[in-house]
Amino acid sequence: MKHLLTITLFAAMAVCCGSSKSTEQASQGSVTTISVEEFAKIIGKKNVRLIDVRTPKEYAEGHLASAENIDVKAADFTERIKDVKGKVAVYCRSGKRSLMAAKQLSAKGCTVYNLDGGIMAWQKTGKPVVK
């Protein structure tokens, strides 16, 4: 019985971890982690708000065009996102902080797209940044 449970657990983990595109459902919104190419298409739409959740210093070193900077680690992050609604695209350096921000935005009912690999992945593909 323990052997069957262990096999089932590993199979479930393989299915959950095997996809490069993941979606997490929150109470009202959702978070989808997407590739650079998918992210580029999403942020090209007029009804998507683009948010860079890195520090102001990181933002100044280079960011995506038209991105607004709201530092997820800042004390006022929750206050600054209180009026954010609808579809939101978020990114950070590698994708970890933006996933944290995405979960908070999703809990507010937003549909959130998280850039897999962050701005590092964006730049690696040769996509432009603004300084």
Q: Give catalytic residue positions.
A: 92
* Exposure string for 72-98, b = 16+ CB within 10 A, e = fewer: beeeebeeebeebeeebbbbbbebebb
Q: How far is CA 110 from the centre of its chain?
A: 12
Residues facing 91 on adjacent strands: 52
Q: Is the separation of the CB atoms in 49 and 114 below 8 Å? A: no
